[in-house]
A and B are shown apart, each in its own frame.
Chain A
Amino acid sequence: MSIINRRTLLKTGGTFVAGACLPLTNIRLAFADQSQDFTFAYISDSHIQHIKGTKFVRNWDQGLKRAVAEANLMSPKPDFVMYGGDLAQLGTREELDHGFEIMSALKHKTHYVMGEHDYYADLGEYWSSQVGKQYYSFDHKGVHIIVLNSILTDDHWTHERWANGTERMGVMAGLDDPRGSPFMVGAAQRKWLANDLKDISKDTPIIVFSHSPLQKLFKNWNFWTDDAELVQAILQPFDSVTVFYGHVHQIQYNQIGNITFHSVMATAWPWPYPESYAQAENHMPHLTVPINRADPFFERDATGWQYVDINSGKATVKFSLTENEPRTVSYDAKRGHPVDTKYVSRSKPPQNHY
């Protein structure tokens, strides 16, 4: 543990201090136009799970409460908080209300992304009544920000196959349930997206938030968006695009053309990397240095949340992990893709728990 005094702080500049040791202070590197820099917090996948009456699964509750409490400690304050989807486990009113109540302790402006666990019980009706639109865009300090509902699927599966919403939700909630259906953004939203971007200049940095990856990584667990290529094609003409997604409960990052991809952690529980399922092929990004397999004996291991510094439209993602060393993944302009500031190659995994 290095002891940081003011002198070393000045010498080392911001990244080391903010990333490794003193997350209370986000000191940024000097960029050309600092007025365009900002920080936001990103909390995702809390899976608030109702048992009965007023009882909820304590472990998932605590994960979200902790993330909220930590985000409230951020200094300077983040410009906003993005919630990445799957606030609930089975999309019930009780779960969503309980989740929103925990989130209401946040002292920052909050935006939401739709997750499949929030959606498939009532096709997003209650969530929308509390949050608002399922897809939307806004501008923030020179960055165009887009939120998509990427967890839709084909109409037949959604409307024709199930006795009721509870049954439909139960199937979609099982990550490995073979009766599930691949996620998609869908034609209507793609059309909206193309239209939304029509008048945006190509040098405007774009940030997209979705719940599913907007890339095809592992179909077996729906680490997948079926029309990913079509969505990517709409985004490729822009100079700088960053996609943030939840759903996967693990650290992933990737670069496809001009598009940088970052996953975010779950506050509830971690998922194994697809490689650990011996019977199915995966297409995990070679760039990603995986986080270690979670230790089941520590309930919050490999869970957490992250805060993101946007410098000149490029993201530096800082993972605040409850039981693990913090990690920082930052866009490397020379390499043209995101890299972990400590672990640069997949051949050198940071951890190798079995």
Chain B
Amino acid sequence: MMKKIFSITAIVLFFSIQTAFAEPLGLPPVPIPADNPQSKAKIALGEKLFNDPRFSSTGDVSCATCHDAAKGFADGPLKTSEGIKGLTGTRNAPTVLNAAYMKSQFWDGREPDLEGQSKGPFINPVEMGLENHEPILTLVRADRTYWKMFRKVFGLKKKEALTMDHVAKAIASFERTIISGDSPFDHYYFTNDKAAMTPAAVRGFNVFLEQGRCVSCHTVSQTHALFTDSRFHNLNVNFNSISGGVKALARRQQQDKADGVDLDVSILTDKAVAELGRFVVTGQWRDIGAFKTPTLRNVDLTAPYMHDGSIKTLEDVVDFYNNGGVVKAGDPVNSFQSGGIRPLGLSDTQKADLVAFLKMLTSPLN
């Protein structure tokens, strides 16, 4: 426990320093919304909120429970996250690392920004389980330390003026400091340090760019590399579990949404709805079963993989893509699978090289 606290502090220290001056090697400037500028005090407040388990109905789940710094801000080896009373949702916890760069949040992009995202889990029945946001506000208004911090950070005069938006802004500010670059890959690619990656990883990078077709979605540019296109794709991960009844399911989901059923709740409590992916947000056919491309930075730390955590290791992920989006070669592919996925014909050496490359994307965390 002591070690964990230490590592969190170390990371935050490291990243705070980085954002104060320049981004780590390989990353563009962190986009900061005009209505939520960064400040040291706000970041500290966000960090405190992020780690505080009191904002859950049982008092033992915080944001950090599923976004654990020691586990790359995710919660491996869990497939899907555990909230209060050991309840599980339907999605694998996406890392907070570099979430600041994402153009939308959650696997299905249902929130446009970190501010919006941060409010959801508190009131999800399988995450932090609160009925609504009121208990959080009651707590932070009554707690002398919190109230002092909020007052200072947001210039509040009366306790009633403290709203959930302030809580969300502080958490988002903290999350915008959880960024990671400066990996062996960054040194290899951006500072031309040819010794920074092993020969196998260098070959693997070539597979990544060419025969593996990985770079189509996990993008790299000449000045930085986020390893995500922030777009949504149907990979055929677990879609066949619902492909028999997509029509009825899609209609039911759109009807529920129109009737005002909370998306957060239906997505995390209904496995079938969860598989509809981006479609639940847009109602567009093109988004059926499509999920956001995650970053690959620190991917070695965030197993298991895919939106449902159904693939255990990086080797298995590579096999999945090499087979054209199926776990076992020749298994059926759904009709909505994204066009770019196809069998790749990689050799065992190429697959091993690719995994070696992926392991070069781990940032020095302390």
The total of interchain contacts (Cβ-Cβ below 8 angstroms) comes to: 64
Contact B247 A72, beta carbon cutoff 8 Å: yes
Rounded to whole angstroms, the CA-CA distance of A58 and B259 in the bound complex is 40
Mark contacts of A1-16 with chain B using CB atoms, 8 A cut-off: 1 yes-contact digit, 0 otherwise.
1011110010000000
Min CB gap B216→A, angstroms? 6
> Which of chain B's residues have a CB closer than 8 A to the CB of A25?
254
A59 proximity list for chain B (CB < 8 A): 339, 342
Contact flags A30-59 to B (C-beta < 8 A → 1, else 0): 000000000000000000000000000011
Q: Closest Cβ of chain A: how far from B289's Cβ, in Å? A: 11
B262-287 CB mask vs A (1 if < 8 Å, else 0) is: 00000000000000000001111110
* Chain B residues with CB under 8 A of A6: 258-259
- Whether, in the assembled complex, A248 has its beta carbon less than 8 Å from a beta carbon of chain B, the answer is no
- Interface pair B282/A1, CB less than 8 Å apart: yes
Residues of A near B335 (CB, < 8 A) are: 62, 65-66, 68-69
Q: CB-CB < 8 A to A299: which residues of B?
A: 338-340
Contacts A22-B283, A65-B335, A326-B284 hold; do A298 and B247 have CB atoms under 8 A apart?
A: no
Whether A24 and B250, one on each chain, are in contact in the complex, defined by CB atoms closer than 8 angstroms, is yes
Report chain B residues within 8 Å CB of A21: 282-284
Check if B254 sits within 8 Å of A22, measured CB to CB.
yes
A70 close to chain B: CB less than 8 A: yes
Contacts of A5 in B (CB 8 A): 258-260
The residue from A9, A23, A298 contacting B285, defined by CB atoms under 8 A apart: A23
**Is A300 close to B, CB under 8 A?**
yes
**Among B284, B286, B339, which residue has its beta carbon within 8 angstroms of that of A62?**
B339
Q: Does A203 contact B (CB under 8 A)?
A: no
Judge whether A264 is part of the interface by a CB distance below 8 angstroms: no
Q: Are B285 and A320 in contact (CB under 8 A)?
A: yes
Write out the residue numbers on chain B whose beta carbons fall within 8 Å of the beta carbon of A322.
286, 339
Contact B340 A298 (CB under 8 A): yes
Q: Would you call B64 an interface residue if the criterion is a C-beta within 8 Å of the partner chain's C-beta atoms? A: no
Is A297 in the interface zone, CB < 8 Å from B? yes
Mark out the residues of chain B between 122 and 152 whose CB falls within 8 Å of any chain A CB in the assembled complex.
Answer: none
Q: B336 in the interface, Cβ–Cβ < 8 Å?
A: yes
Judge if A73 is at the interface, Cβ distance under 8 Å.
yes
**CB-defined contacts of B338 to chain A, threshold 8 Å:** 299-300
22 pairs from A and B in contact (CB 8 Å cutoff): A4-B258, A4-B283, A5-B259, A9-B258, A23-B285, A24-B250, A58-B324, A59-B339, A62-B335, A65-B335, A66-B336, A69-B335, A73-B246, A73-B247, A75-B251, A297-B216, A298-B339, A298-B340, A299-B339, A300-B339, A322-B286, A326-B284
Q: What residues make up the interface of B, taking CB atoms closer than 8 Å to A?
A: 216, 246-247, 250-251, 254, 257-260, 281-286, 324, 334-340, 342
New A-B contacts (13) at CB < 8 Å, excluding given A6-B258, A62-B339, A299-B339: A5-B259, A6-B259, A21-B282, A23-B283, A23-B284, A24-B250, A24-B254, A24-B283, A62-B337, A69-B336, A297-B216, A297-B340, A298-B339
